[in-house]
């Protein structure tokens, strides 16, 4: 049995990511709604073992209590938002390592990425080069600054960009088409963006996710990752807020 990694869509644009190694025990990232997750777990005859949370927003944690009551799973999330989330069994911070060897998934590294919220974190699974970015990086875009500063978000994006090029990023929202429309108006637009957008339009027309996407492609197409200075990043983020 090989690894399962797939998005469970809910609400308008959210994805909770389902990860299963060589067992019937699953990890779910950011379960904002319990129902679609229960349905998927039942269909696949999986037991939920671990919930990973990237930040406290309700569309990322709304399903946690129900899932925990049903499966008795372990809930892991950002130490800095523990009070806001309320149901964390394990509170994690920058560079903490989580051991999912028993699930066939190796380790997960916690990366603090403040900006969208002050306590936002991402999870990196080196064994499979998987990076779960929550609302920090989206394909062709980045999260809005609800709590953090432009400098914090700029640093967080640069930090994520330093991971291996063949890392795949798994974002918590399907915003790629809208983000791409903005990216197409900028001087950074290039042939690779054109190719990516053709693929994105095709996938969305067929109601399929545009994720994951490799960090390498993002580093060459995502204007927020391509911004080399804080000034440029700030101008881009402001422009996107009014796009
Ligand atoms: Zn959010």
What tokens were used for 73?
Answer: 């799973």
- Rounded distance, CA 94 to CA 97, Å? 9
Report the separation in Å between the CA atom of 108 and the middle of ligand 1, taken as the mean of its atom positions: 21
Instruction: Give the pLDDT of residue 192.
Output: 98
Report the separation in Å between the CA atom of 78 and the middle of ligand 1, taken as the mean of its atom positions: 13
Instruction: Give the pLDDT of residue 217.
Output: 98
Report the separation in Å between the CA atom of 77 and the middle of ligand 1, taken as the mean of its atom positions: 14
CA dist 235 → 137, 232, 238 (Å): 17, 5, 5
- Across the chain, which has 243 residues, the per-10-residue mean pLDDT values are 90 97 95 98 97 98 98 98 97 98 96 98 97 98 98 98 98 98 97 98 98 98 98 98 94
Instruction: Give the pLDDT of residue 22.
Output: 87
Q: Which residues surround ligand 1, an ion (CB under 5 A)?
A: 57, 135
Instruction: Give the pLDDT of residue 79.
Output: 98
Instruction: Give the pLDDT of residue 157.
Output: 98
Report the separation in Å between the CA atom of 120 and the middle of ligand 1, taken as the mean of its atom positions: 9
Report the separation in Å between the CA atom of 62 and the middle of ligand 1, taken as the mean of its atom positions: 12
Strand order in the sheet with 213-214: 97-99, 107-112, 121-125, 130-134, 168-171, 213-214
Kind and range of the H or E run holding 155: helix 150-161
Domains of the chain: 4-241 (3.60.15.10)
Report the separation in Å between the CA atom of 22 and the middle of ligand 1, taken as the mean of its atom positions: 31
- CB–CB of 96/75 below 8 Å? no
Residue 171: closest CA among 207, 128, 123: 123
- CB–CB of 128/159 below 8 Å? no
Instruction: Give the pLDDT of residue 198.
Output: 98
Report the separation in Å between the CA atom of 134 and the middle of ligand 1, taken as the mean of its atom positions: 7
Instruction: Give the pLDDT of residue 105.
Output: 96
Instruction: Give the pLDDT of residue 184.
Output: 98
């Amino acid at each position: 049995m090989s690894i399962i990694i797939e998005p469970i869509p809910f609400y308008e644009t959210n994805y909770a990511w389902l990860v299963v190694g060589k067992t019937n025990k699953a990890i779910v990232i950011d379960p904002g709604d319990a129902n679609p997750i229960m349905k998927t777990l039942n269909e696949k005859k999986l037991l939920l073992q671990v919930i990973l949370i990237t930040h406290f927003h309700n569309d990322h944690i709304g399903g946690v209590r129900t899932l925990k009551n049903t499966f008795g799973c372990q809930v892991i999330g950002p130490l800095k938002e523990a009070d806001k989330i309320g149901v964390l069994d394990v509170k994690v911070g920058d560079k903490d390592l989580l051991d999912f060897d028993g699930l066939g998934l190796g380790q997960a590294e916690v990366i603090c990425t403040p900006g969208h919220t002050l306590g936002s974190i991402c999870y990196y699974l080196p064994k499979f080069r998987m990076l779960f970015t929550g609302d920090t990086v989206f394909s062709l875009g980045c999260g809005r600054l609800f709590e953090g500063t432009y400098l914090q978000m700029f640093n967080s994006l640069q930090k994520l960009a330093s991971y291996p090029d063949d890392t795949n990023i798994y974002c918590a929202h399907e915003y790629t088409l809208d983000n791409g429309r903005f990216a197409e108006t900028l001087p950074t637009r290039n042939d690779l963006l054109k190719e990516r957008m053709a693929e994105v339009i095709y996938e969305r027309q067929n109601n399929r996710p545009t994720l994951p996407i490799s960090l390498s492609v993002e580093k060459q197409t995502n204007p927020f990752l391509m911004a080399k200075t804080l000034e440029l990043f700030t101008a881009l983020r402001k422009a996107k807020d009014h796009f």
